[in-house]
Structure 1
Amino acid sequence: MVSPGTKLILWRFILPIAMIALFTPNFCLAKQSKINGLKMNVIDRCWRLNAEWRKHRSQLATCSLGYVGKMVNNIGKDLVHYKVIDPSDDPINPKPGTLRYGASMIQGKVWITFQRDMHIKLERPVLISSFTTIDGRGTNVHIADNACLLIFKATNVIIHGIRIHHCKPQSPGIVMGTHGKVIPLGQVDGDAIRLVTASNIWIDHNTLYDCQDGLLDVTRGSTNVTISNNWFRNQDKVMLLGHDDGYVRDQNMKVTVVYNHFGPNCNQRMPRIRYGYAHVANNLYQGWVQYAIGGSMSPSLKSEANLFVASTPGRKEVTWRKVSHKNEDRWEFHSVRDAFENGASFMVTKGGRVPKPNYSKEQCFKIVDAKFVRSLTRWSGTLRCSKTSRC
């Protein structure tokens, strides 16, 4: 029989151990969460920590940020789930089960996934309808070796988790357009993804390279676009924001470029901007040949907490300004908390204000110190997602 005094001594010994056992796991989880937070950017933390993301794919639509806002218009009770089972393509009479059928023929909200790994060689560009999500997570999907993707007069489109490369120019012809109507389509230059008069577009976690013209064009009045977590590599002209020097309507363009990895072997246009405004933040630049950021026609750009690593050998200056027009002194190119390595430098606009993104509450996100950019962009490009665990 244990005496009351002995019990008291035992409790004084056991209680501290019990307290440690009770509270230490929570502390470790909090600490681990903080570590994961540094390794994973805010978009990825929103869905990648969920091991059952496959059962909740549409959660992705709540994870967007920047000018695109939240893509909640892409989800809801009326959402159609469509699975691509056939990699073939017929540009005029697309078969059910093909990518073109899901992207162009189905009306309303559609969430497109893929049954298996596949290589899709498009005969003509696929015109993507409004309220369409193309979600390649969990499969290895390549759109390559001919025509690629076109978002024409559409809104609320997500393109996620696709490898797009070796896109080629296309001569004029007819093609299945949005709303299931055959339309004439003019000359196409050979871009991986082109936006024409499009709005509320989110391009996330794609790998784009080796296309005959550019990798991503935002043109002809397109606006409210977020370009995030992509890997752009092996390309001369990477990203164009604004159609041409004569298209004044692009002055209303607003684009967020965040958590992307540019390089290796990229020459120029990361991005090149005309007229509008771009917020370029927390991106990794792995060298350039001509320039990384440039443009014309009085654009405004805020470069914030990016990491610019100049090539060896190669040009060290990040920026380029077209000087053949009268408005060259009205540029607003500002560098705020950027980091520079290997001799990189940024020629900022002298004087004036630093243009702010002026995000709404749902668009806003925290810009992380540039020293964490390598971690934030570690998973840029398409993700390898296991069938049994997290991406």
Structure 2
Amino acid sequence: MASQGVEAMGITTPRHLALALALAIVLMPRTINAANKRPQNSGIDKNLNVIDRCWRSDPLWRHHRQRLARCSVGYAGKMTNNIGPGVTCYRVTDNGDDPMNPKPGTLRYGATQIRGKVWITFPKDMNIKLHRPLLVSSFTTIDGRGAHVNIAGGACITLLGVTDVIIHGLRIHNCQTQETVEVMGPEGHIIRIDYPDGDAISVISSTKVWIDHNTLYDCGDGLVDVTHGSTDVTISNNWFRTHDMVMLLGHDDGYVQDQHMRVTVAFNYFGPDCDQRMPRVRYGFAHVVNNLYQGWGLYAIGGSMNPSVRSEANLFIAPDAGRKEITWKLRGKGGSDWNFASTNDVLENGAVFTQTGDVGLEPHYNRTQAFRIGDATSVRSLTWSAGALSCLKRSKTRC
């Protein structure tokens, strides 16, 4: 059949045959990886989202790592407080972990013991088991690009009362719940944490946080929690899979301080095997934009206590069996003023989005937060590289 197609095009020379075959490969649709059903692509897509286009087009990105801080969008805004004069560049060379006396070379030492702006990188692949939660200092960037970095099998990452933090390029999974623990925190302070519940990344009473291009799955509780009055957070380009309660925005129904919470959830890939909370919102405002939903169990987006959610230009692919409804609202919990708006979403396989309240919600971004939103029909392309990237050290091209 292939030779008949070439002959029909009038191509007879070996050179023309090679060109035709190359063209056919380029035009082939993306395939599905049989192991994890994640969309695949053979190279850098011309339709990179606005964040990735900002830095991935640079073949010398390794020499310009801090350019990343200017690529964030959404409520976190530009992370320029993480760069500039006085940045300490710190390399993790030791995969060990001493929660009470961090040793130089370990991730915990770089994240807690260095004052001021810190940019943390990994010169080699590394598997890190944290014995207690890692408390990250303000003005810290954890940049996993260029290495295969796993944080798994123990405690995970907590941002407690901090500002200006970037977490990028990590594989965080199999986090475990723990008893009440004490741990060395920023600036040498011993901090007690009551019953860490096994979240991959927990954002507590923190502001201006950017969580980008991480792969997260199979943890004791949630994958990302934003709680206790945290705000101005962007969660982008992550791959969430194989998990029940994925993302919680808002502590509990009695914590009214979360009414000021603002979170952007953009360019993420949810699936396969994600059941609920993508996200679940209490009180605050969530702009959920250009994400790919590969099915769900109970629901995709839900919440309580009158949250406002603008779902914009997402691709929702309902499961073959089970609930087709995307949204979930806890009845009797502030349900009178619900604002769930769907704008330019694409609903496939029978998916249904029930709008409630003000369907004209706007995020009201300022100049440093605003970004170009892609059409929902391009979401597969915009999210095909979601998760921790494989940036080959010997590559002379782009990440």
After TM superposition, the score normalised by the length of structure 2 is 0.88
| 1:351-366 superposed matches below 5 A | 352-366=358-372
Counterpart of 2:327 in structure 1 is 319
Distance 1:162 1:190, change over 3 A: same
Alignment of 1:179-258 (within 5 A): 179-258=187-266
Distance 2:44 2:127 in 1: 33
Deviations for 1:219-273, whole angstroms, at most 9, x for unmatched residues?
0000000000000000000000000000000000000000000000000000000
* Partner SS for 2:223: strand
- 1:230-309 alignment, distance < 5 Å: 230-309=238-317
Instruction: Give the equivalent residue in structure 2 for 1:380.
Output: 386
Shift of 1:37: 7.2
**Contact kept? 1:38, 1:372, Cα under 8 Å:** no
Larger Rg: 1
In structure 2, give the amino acid aligned to 1:332: N
- Gap regions ≥5 residues in structure 1: 1-34
Deviates more, 1:296-305 or 1:310-319: 310-319
Question: Offset at 1:324?
Answer: 2.4
Could you tell me how far apart the structure 1 residues matched to 2:172 and 2:200 are? 6
Q: Which amino acid in the other structure matches residue 160 of structure 1?
A: H
Counterparts of 1:187 and 1:378, CA distance in 2: 36
Please give the residue correspondences for 1:130-169 in structure 2 after superposition, counting only pairs within 5 Å: 130-169=138-177
**Residue of structure 1 in register with 2:82 after alignment:** 74
Equivalence for 2:22: none
Where does 1:68-147 land on structure 2 (aligned, <5 Å)?
A: 68-147=76-155
TM-superposition CA deviations, 1:322-359 (whole Å, max 9, x none):
0023x212000000000011100100015x35210000
What code does the residue aligned with 1:130 have? S
1:329 and 1:317 mapped to 2: Cα distance? 20
Higher helix content, 1 or 2: 1
Letter in 1 for 2:164: N
CA distance in 1 between counterparts of 2:332 and 2:150 reads 40
Report Cα offsets for 1:272-303 as digits up to 9, x if no partner.
00000000000000000000000000000100
Distance change in 2, residues 1:38/1:301 (3 Å): farther
- State the distance in 1 between where 2:192 and 2:249 align: 25
- Please say which of residues 177-186 and 154-163 is displaced more in the overlay: 177-186
| Aligned-residue RMSD, C-alpha | 1.1
Residue 371 of structure 1 pairs with residue 366 of structure 2: no
- Aligned pair partner of 1:44 in 44, 52, 68: 52
Count of residue correspondences: 355
Q: Is the 8 A contact 1:73 1:131 kept in 2?
A: yes
SS in 1 for 2:224: strand
Q: Is the counterpart of residue 341 in structure 1 residue 337 in structure 2?
A: no
- 1:267 and 1:123 map into 2 onto residues whose CA distance is 28
Aligned partner letter, 1:367: I
Q: Is the 8 A contact 1:332 1:354 kept in 2?
A: no
Which stretch has the larger CA shift, 341-350 or 330-339?
341-350
Paired residue type of 1:233: R
Render the CA deviation track for 1:40-73: whole Å, top value 9, x for unaligned. 1010000001000000100000000000000000
Aligned residues: percent identity? 60
Measured in 2, the distance between the counterparts of 1:233 and 1:367 equals 24
Runs of at least 5 residues in structure 2 that lack an aligned partner in the other structure:
1-42
CA contact (8 A) 2:110 2:118 kept: yes
> Aligned partners of 2:193, 2:202: CA distance in 1, in Å?
14
**CA distance, structure 1, for counterparts of residue 168 and residue 158 of structure 2:** 15
SS at match of 1:194: strand
The answer on whether the counterparts of 1:151 and 1:194 sit within 8 Å (CA) in structure 2 is: yes
- Preserved CA contact (<8 Å) 1:67 1:256: yes
Q: Work out the CA distance in 1 between the residues paired with 2:101 and 2:190.
A: 9
Q: Which amino acid aligns with 1:290?
A: L
Q: What SS does the aligned partner of 1:368 have? A: coil
Answer yes or no: is the 8 Å Cα contact 1:106–1:180 preserved in 2: no
Misfit runs of 4+, over 2 Å: 35-39
